[in-house]
Amino acid sequence: MTDFTLSHIREAAGRIAGVADATPLVPSALSARFGHEVLLKLEIAQPIGAFKLRGALSAIAALPADTVGVTCCSTGNHGRGVAYAARARRMQAVICMSRLAPEAKVAGVRALGAEVRIIGDSQDEAQAEAERLAREEGLVDISPFDDPLVVAGQGTIGLELVESRPDLTAILVPLSGGGLAGGVAFAAKALNPAIRVVGITMDRGAAMHASLRAGYPVEVEEVPSLADSLGGGIGLANRLSFPLCRDHLDETILVTEADIYRAMQALYYEDRIVCEGASSVGIAAMLTGKFKAEGTTATIITGRNLDMTQHAAIMTGQDIILGDVTVKGESYGA
């Protein structure tokens, strides 16, 4: 932990410059509803449609020229980022995903030329295969969240937010394995210690939230969610993203599947944004009053790689079945 500094994030900004940086920061049409300006950091504008390219590119750009290839476990967007960055360097990429990964994300990884291996029913099982590939076949395992080069890449979002809008009072960050939340919080607070950084996640299978409450990394059961990108464990041997989140997040907030459903609708109908459920959790926290803005607030729209059939169903108010849970549909504004 003491070895991770703001200079690492600034170095990552140099590695990703011109490819994965400088995404738009735009005011939300929902601002008037919240009583303060709300800004949307549009990581959906990334070449892969998600912020994960920052961390993957940061890590892969730093690898030696003789690297055999790379591997990782992923719920989808990290794998897409690794595949994109590996293709640019003409490296082999093997992406390990569980059966919970949406088919749209599996197809997106394959479209970038990577091999996909579907392993088990959890991120932990997929991670075990990535570790085997690293151990037995010499591939470099690029962690989705617990690699300092990856975290530094994600942290560049924090730099961009605070440097472009020094008047920000709060940043709402989707919280999963903690690479994004930890990196953004570290960078933002290094520039402005007074800024609040809040991690937002779903209320089912939220590994980092549960770990922060316990005081150490814990395992959780992975379940289907509209915020599928936020699923998966943080690793019981987590050495970086857990302490970063513990030391730099001001709080974590849980939102329900119904909250996420309504926030996806609001972003579509008010801001004309198509995004994953994970992208909408900051807006969900504000719409429900679980987070109340006290000044200019930014939230990160992390990705747009979703099942468009499911999105169409949500926009038209249909019920959504997630395993043994049904999210009751409701037309927007009803």
pLDDT tens string 116-149 = 999 998 888 999 999 999 999 999 999 999 999 9
Give the lowest-confidence range in 2-6, 129-133, 186-190, 230-234: 2-6
- Residue 64's CB is within 10 A of a number of other CB atoms, namely 6
Cα dihedral across residues 129, 207, 103, 145: positive or negative: negative
Average pLDDT over residues 15-28: 98
DSSP-assigned states of every residue in 230-284: G-S---TT--SHHHHHHHH-SEEEEE-HHHHHHHHHHHHHHH-----GGGGHHHH
pLDDT tens sequence across 148-183: 999 999 999 999 999 999 999 999 999 999 999 999
Task: List CB contacts of 272: < 8 A, sequence separation 6 or more.
Answer: none
Question: Do 145 and 177 meet the contact criterion of CB atoms below 8 Å apart?
Answer: yes
Tokens of 70: 């790379």
CA distance 38 to 282: 10
Domains located in the chain, CATH noted: 6-50+151-327 (3.40.50.1100), 52-141 (3.40.50.1100)
Q: Is the confidence at residue 72, as pLDDT, over 80?
A: yes
Convert 7-44 to b/e letters by CB count within 10 Å (16 or more is b).
ebbebbbebbeebbbebebeebbbbeebeebbbbbbbb
| Rounded (10°) angle between helices 207-214 and 241-248 | 70
pLDDT tens digits, 206-216? 999 999 999 99
Return the pLDDT at 333.
Answer: 86
Q: How sure is the predictor about 2, in pLDDT bands with cuts at 50, 70 and 90? A: low
- Please state the pTM of the whole predicted model: 0.95
Residue 257 near residue 327 (C-beta atoms within 8 A): yes
The dihedrals phi and psi of 253, each to the nearest 5 degrees, come to -130, 135
Q: Are 178 and 143 in contact (CB under 8 A)?
A: no
Q: What token pair was written down for 18? A: 């011109």
- Compute the distance between CA of residue 34 and CA of residue 297 in angstroms, rounded to an integer: 10
- Considering the chain, what percentage of its residues have pLDDT values greater than 90? 95
Q: Is the pLDDT of residue 334 over 80?
A: no
Asked if residue 305 has pLDDT above 70, the reply is yes
Rounded to an integer, the average pLDDT of 40-62 is: 98
pLDDT attached to residue 232: 86
Average pLDDT over the chain reads 96
CA distance 46 to 35: 29
d(CA 168, CA 188): 10
Phi-psi region of 232 (alpha: psi -120 to 50; beta: other; left: phi over 0): left
Query: How large is the average pLDDT for residues 289-301?
Result: 98
Percent over 70 (pLDDT), the chain: 99
Mean pLDDT of 248-269: 98
Residue entry with tokens 């690793």: 235
The residue written with tokens 């800004």 in the block is 39
Question: What pLDDT is attached to residue 165?
Answer: 98
Pairing of the two strands 115-118 and 251-255: unpaired
Q: How many residues does the chain have?
A: 334
Residues 13 and 156: beta-carbon distance below 8 Å: yes
Looking at residue 1, its pLDDT comes to: 46
Give SS3 for 72: strand
- Where helices occur in the chain by DSSP H, the ranges are 6-16, 31-34, 52-61, 77-88, 103-111, 123-137, 148-164, 179-191, 207-214, 241-248, 257-271, 281-287, 308-315
Higher confidence at residue 333 or residue 303? 303
Q: How confident is residue 100, by pLDDT bands cut at 50, 70 and 90?
A: confident
Mean per-residue pLDDT for 63-86? 96
